[in-house]
Amino acid sequence: TQTVSQSDAHVTVFEGDSVELRCNYSYGGSIYLSWYIQHHGHGLQFLLKYYSGNPVVQGVNGFEAEFSKSDSSFHLRKASVHWSDSAVYFCAVSASSNNRIFFGDGTQLVVKP
């Protein structure tokens, strides 16, 4: 069974700062990795995903994530955050061999003006 861990429950930055939200997974086989964003009071929205190829994937609104097999990680980054980026971010992992997608516990990002 695959698992996903988001080590930071809360991250606070100032507008214009760069940010990295961490995601580590455990699974030995081929996997799909995704990031979703949840604004307060809303459902989750897809940001980006990775399966193969270029380990750096681009998403919406300037977000990107980098896959590292050696570190078992899929960290999300943004070079310059905006107040509207304040939300909860979920990392998700699914093995290519089964029908299950597992979500991390989420990281709450607060962007201060």
Partner 1 sequence: EAAVTQSPRSKVAVTGGKVTLSCHQTNNHDYMYWYRQDTGHGLRLIHYSYVADSTEKGDIPDGYKASRPSQENFSLILELASLSQTAVYFCASSDAGREGQNTLYFGAGTRLSVL
In whole angstroms, how close is the CB of 82 to partner 1 at the nearest point?
22
Judged by CB under 8 A, the chain residues 42 through 71 that form the site for partner 1 are 42-46, 49, 51
Nearer to partner 1, 24 or 94 (CB): 94
**By CB under 8 A, is residue 107 in contact with partner 1?**
no
Neighbours of 87 (CB within 10 A): 20
State which of residues 23, 75, 106, 111 lies at the interface with partner 1 (CB under 8 A): 106
Q: How far apart are CA 56 and CA 68, in angstroms?
A: 9
Which phi-psi region, left, alpha or beta, contains residue 99 (left: φ > 0; alpha: ψ -120 to 50)?
A: alpha
> Residues 32, 59, 66, 72: which binds partner 1 (CB under 8 A)?
32
If you count them, how many residues does the chain have? 113
* Alpha carbons 110 and 113: distance in angstroms, whole number: 10
Q: Which residues bind partner 1 (CB under 8 A)?
A: 4, 9, 31-32, 34, 36, 41-46, 49, 51, 90, 93-96, 98-106
